[in-house]
Structure formats: structure tokens, C-alpha cells
Amino acid sequence: MIPVLQIGALSGQPLPSAQHFRIAVFGAEVQRIRPETDIYALPDPEEQMVDPVALLAAGAARGLFSGSAGVAGKISTHAERLADARPDIVEWSLLLGGVDLGALRLLANMLACRRFDSAEIVADGCVGGAVTQSAMLSYPSCIPPQEFTFVHDPPAKSHSERGVRLIFADEPDDVTLDLVIASLDAWGNIMMAGGYDGGSGANAFANKAALEESCVVGVSLMVSDVNELMFSPVVNLARRVHALYAPLERLELV
């Protein structure tokens, strides 16, 4: 199942300050969608799925997709699940602003890897318009940081254990620590929900992020057929945290 994507003139552009979308999925499988955005919080992960729209909005709000808008740019995001008109339809209203348009590709991938009958993502004013293939959208991008040390050392093999470590210049306060852990967990859940699959078979299993040392927050994951672009949101997060919350000494993607 390939979601219908109608976004009109937005194709190939960063999203404006505020853009509304309507997302809908159809079929009996919609009954498996839960309101949670963390797979570890699902009562029955084998039979249930996280809310993909709320999960994307949570990641966007934390700056994971801010690469094209600048690390300190304003981000607008809100997701609301609408009242179910029928038991085989779930609809959402989604507001995104100041984020990379590639976030929609992640959402389309998350919808496509589920056994829905069909799905659609439609921007305001684009109902009945031309259909954009989600594969034509680039994945969210990043700009390699110059303001702190950046180590990106991908392994040669496609199936491997990977790790992310944000090393602060000084011990972060609780607000910063909570933000970084929640953001890394949102990123991990997007990957586990199929955000970077896109029919390629790429997948990941992410552990919960944690404070490893007084100045180090990290997360480990197992990946297969990895797309290195899946690490761009972490770079965006690190640069945003460094600019707005607490200075980083080093970011490691290994």
C-alpha cells in the first residue's frame, strides 16, 4: 500500500511557518492504532501500533527535522486525532511549520508499512490535486556541525549495532536532560515504526536513551540495511540543543 500524497506546490520546499494537513487511513487494521507514541508503552506491542501522526509531531516539535529551517528557527506542530466517523477509518489534523518537508516521507513510510487498505496525506487546498510520490521527497536533512566535534564512523557491514552519544561540555540540567532523552526516544520510535523503511527493508530496534555518565546521553540500536540519513535528525537535535539549551563538546554517531 502506497499512501496518496497531495501537497501541491509544497513539493521540494521547506514547509512554511504553518501548514495544515489531513491524514486518513482506511481498513480494519486501524483498530490497532493506540494513542501512545512509545512502543515500550504499548500494552500489547505484538498486536498494537503507536500513533504515527502523533509520533511524527512529537519528533518535529523537538527539532529532529529542523535542518532546512535553521537550528534555532521557530517550529510549529500539533497533531489531533479526529472523532472516528466509522470503525474502519481514522483521521488526523496535523499542523507542521518550520520543519523539513522530508518529515512527510517518514510519515508516508510509517503508514505504508502497515496493513491498511489505503492512506492519504493531503495539504490544505490540495484536495483532488496532483499526487506526489512519497519516494520523490528527500529524507530529512542536516548540516554537519562546526560548533562542536562531530564523529560519524559508520561500520562497513549493513547489519550491526550502532550508537549515539551526546557529550555535554558541562553536566546538563534536568530540563535539558529530559528533552534530549525524550527526543532520542522519539527518533528511535520513528525508526522502529518504519519511518526509514520505504520498501527497502531498512529497519532498526532502538533501546531507550539514558544518561550514561554525568555529561553523556546515549542510545544504542540494532540496524539492518541502514540508511545513514536516519541519523540526520540526531544531528539536528544536537545542534538545536547546543544553540538553545546547553553547549555540547562532542556528538558521536558510530
* Predicted pLDDT at 201: 53
CA distance 232 to 253: 10
DSSP 115-173: --SEEEEEETT-TT-PPPPGGGSPPP-----SSSEEEE---SSSSEEEEEEEEESSPPP
Element (H, E) at 232: helix 232-244
**Domains parsed from the chain with CATH numbers:** 4-136 (3.30.70), 149-253 (3.30.70)
Q: Largest Cα–Cα distance in the chain?
A: 53
Q: What's the pTM?
A: 0.93
Please report the pLDDT score of residue 66 as a whole number. 86
Residue 212's CB is within 10 A of a number of other CB atoms, namely: 15
Residuewise pLDDT in 10s, the chain (254 residues)? 789 899 877 765 666 678 999 999 999 999 999 999 999 999 999 899 999 999 999 999 999 998 755 677 789 899 999 998 899 999 999 999 988 889 999 999 999 988 999 999 999 988 877 888 888 888 999 999 999 999 998 877 767 789 999 999 999 999 999 999 999 999 999 999 999 986 555 678 999 999 999 999 999 999 887 788 999 999 999 999 999 999 999 999 98
Q: Which run of H or E residues covers position 206?
A: strand 203-206
Question: What whole-number distance in Å separates Cα of residue 107 and Cα of residue 168?
Answer: 31
Rg (CA), the chain: 18
Distances, alpha carbon 218 to alpha carbons 48, 85, 184, 185, in Å = 27, 42, 8, 10
- Quick one: which of 37, 195, 19 has its CA closest to 94? 19
